[in-house]
Amino acid sequence: MNTAAANRAKLLGASAGISLLATWLFIQFSTPGGFNAVDGLRVILVAVSAFWLSWGALLGVAGLFYRPQGTGRVPLTPPLGRCAVVVPIYNEDPVATFSRIAAMSAGLSRLGLHEQFDFVVLSDTNSMDVAAEEVVWFDRLASQAKAQGHFFYRRRENNAGRKSGNIEDFIRRSGAAYTYAVILDADSLMSPETLVLLARRMDADPRLGLLQTVPKIIGARTFFGRAIQFSASYYSSIFARGITLVQGEQGPFWGHNAIVRMAAFAGNCGLPKLSGKPPFGGLILSHDYVEAALLARAGWKVQVDPEIEGSFEEGPENIIEYAKRDRRWCQGNLQHGRLLGAPGLHWWNRFTFLQGIMAYLGSPVWLAFLVGSIISEAMPRTSYITFSQQLTSSIAAWCLVGLITSLLVMPKLLIIAWGAASGENRKFGGTKAVFFSAITEIVFSSLIAPITLLMQSRSVFQVLFGIDGGWPATSRDERSLTLRQSWEASSWIVMAGALVLATAMALAPYLMVWLLPVIIPMGLSPLLIAYSSMVSDGRDGLLLMTAEEYSVAPAIDARDKVRNDWRTAYLEQGARS
C-alpha cells in the first residue's frame, strides 16, 4: 500500500470510528423509552452526518502534522515551453479584470520573462455595453510597451459549453502553440514569480498534468466577505495540507488558479454531453473535478500544493451572492452522481465526487434529522423511563453535543495553537488578534449556519425536482444590501422558522432548548443578512485581518496601482469629453 493509500485508510477508519461513537451516543440519548420507526431513520442520518463531519475535521487536524516535500521555490529562469495565461470572462467589470492582467504582465516584464507568457482573454459576455467596454480596455492593455504582441482577446457570439466550452474551443484552435496553460478566473490574480514557478514545476516533472494552488481571498470589504476571507487565509492552507496527505497523484482541480499541461489536457479532458435534460443531463456544470479525474485516469499526476504563495482570488460579499454561486455549484456537484460509475476512474476520484455530493446533501440530511426529531418526540414511547435511564440519556446527550462541537471547533483551535508555536500568527497580528478573529468567525458562522442550511436544502430540492439554475453572471460589485432586499430574499426562511417553532411548541416542547439556536437565527435572517453585508473595515478593531492586509503582497499593490491609474484616466477622459 502506498503512502497516500495508507493515509486514506487511516483517516477513513478514524472517521468511521467517530461516526460509530456518535451513533452510539445518539442511541443512548434518544431512545431510553423505546425505539420507534422514526428513530431508525434518525440513527442513519446521524451516522452519515457524523462521518462526513469527522472526515472534514480530520483533514484539518492531519494537515497540522504534514508539510509537502519538494515544494520550495525554483530558480526564476525562463520556462522551457510557452505558457498561455487563460482568463475566461462573462459580463465582468473590464477595468478590474484587465488591470489584473496588466499588473501580472508588468511583473513578468520586470523579471525579464514576459516572452514566454501570453495572456488570453476568452469572453462569453452577452451584454453589448460590457462587450464594447471590453474592447476599449483591452486596447489599453495591449498597448503596454514591453509586452506588445503577448495579449489576445476573443469574444464568442455562441456561448456553447460556457466557461469550459470557451476553454475547450481555445485549446482546439490555439492549444498547439503552448506547452502549458495557467487557467484563471476573472477575479484571479497571481504574482509573476508564481506564474514562473508553476511553469518551472511542470518543466521539472514530465508526468505532472495539473498543479493546483490554494488561492487566498483578497479585497473583501463587508463583514460577511471579511469573515470568509479570514477563514480562507488562515485555515485553508492547513486543510489543503490534509488533502495533499491523502490525494497521492489524484488531487483536485478547482477550475482556476492552476496550471495544466496542454497536451495532457487537450488529449484527455474533452467533456461529454450527458443524456437527458438539465439539471442532471446536458452540459457538465462542475467540469473541474471531472477534468481532474480524466487526467488521473490517463496516468497523469494531478496535485494540489498549499505551499505555493502568490495566488489570489476574490469572494462574494454577502450571503445572497454566496447563495447564488452555491446554487450553481450544488447543481454541478449533484450532477456528478451520474459519473460515479464512469469506466476507468480511480476509486479516489469517485470518492471525491461523492464528497462533493455530500457537501450539499449534508444540509437536507440535517434538516431531515431536525424534522424527524420533532416527529419522534411527539410519538408515544413503549416503556416507562426510569431515573437511571434519564440520567444515562442526559449524559449521552451532552457527550454527543461535546463531540459534534469538537469536530466543528477543535481543528480551528488547534490551528491557532499551532500558529502560536510556529510563529505563523505574527503574520496575522499575533495570537491575541487571531484568537478574537477566530472567535468572531466561529460565532458568526454558527449564527448563519441555519440560514445557509436552508438555502442549500432549497437548492438540493430544486435540482432533485428538475429545476435548472443555469449559469448566472457573478455580481462581484454587489456588496451592501438593504433590509428590504434581505427580507425579500429570506422572508421564506423567517416563515420556516416560525413554522418550526409552532410545530415544536405543539408536539415537542421539551426540544425547545435544542431548537432555539436554530430557530432564532432563522427568525433574524433578514437582519443577519443585511448587517453582514455592511462595509466593515477590520482595521478599526483589528478583527478578521489577514496576512495580506498586514503586509500587502507586491502583486496586490501593483494591481491596485494599475486599476487606480486606469480609473483616474477614465474619469479624466470623461470630464474632457
Report which of 245, 249, 248 is spatially closest to residue 301, judged by C-alpha positions: 249
Question: For residue 509, what pLDDT is reported?
Answer: 87
Q: H helices within 248-340, ranges in order?
A: 262-268, 287-297, 319-335
- Rounded Cα distance between 538 and 304, Å, is 31
Report which of 184, 310, 191 is spatially closest to residue 259, judged by C-alpha positions: 184
Evaluate whether residue 243 is within a structural domain.
yes
Question: For residue 162, what pLDDT is reported?
Answer: 84
Beta bridge mates, 432: none
Number of Cβ within 10 Å of residue 172's Cβ equals 11
Q: Which domain holds residue 173?
A: 83-322
Evaluate whether residue 233 is within a structural domain.
yes
**CATH number, position 107:** 3.90.550.10
Evaluate whether residue 252 is within a structural domain.
yes
Evaluate whether residue 270 is within a structural domain.
yes
Evaluate whether residue 193 is within a structural domain.
yes
Report which of 224, 232, 225 is spatially closest to residue 525, judged by C-alpha positions: 224
Evaluate whether residue 239 is within a structural domain.
yes
Number of Cβ within 10 Å of residue 69's Cβ equals 7
- Rounded Cα distance between 543 and 226, Å, is 9
Question: For residue 354, what pLDDT is reported?
Answer: 97
Q: Which residues of the chain have pLDDT under 50?
A: 540, 575
Secondary-structure percent of the chain, ordered helix, strand, coil, rounded to 5 = 65, 10, 25
Evaluate whether residue 537 is within a structural domain.
no
Note the Cα 352 to chain centre separation in Å.
14
Q: How many domains does the chain have?
A: 1
Question: Could you tell me if residue 257 is left (phi over 0), alpha (psi between -120 and 50 degrees) or otherwise beta?
Answer: left
Cell of residue 240, nine digits? 489543503
Helix (H, G, I), strand (E, B) or coil at 260: strand
300, 303, 308, 310 alpha-carbon torsion, rounded to 10°:
80
Question: Is residue 180 within 8 Å of 202, Cβ to Cβ?
Answer: yes
Question: For residue 568, what pLDDT is reported?
Answer: 82
- Rounded Cα distance between 557 and 439, Å, is 30
**CB under 8 Å to 69, separation ≥6 — which residues?**
none
Encoded amino acid at 109, one letter: S
Question: For residue 69, what pLDDT is reported?
Answer: 67
Evaluate whether residue 37 is within a structural domain.
no
Question: Is residue 348 within 8 Å of 253, Cβ to Cβ?
Answer: no
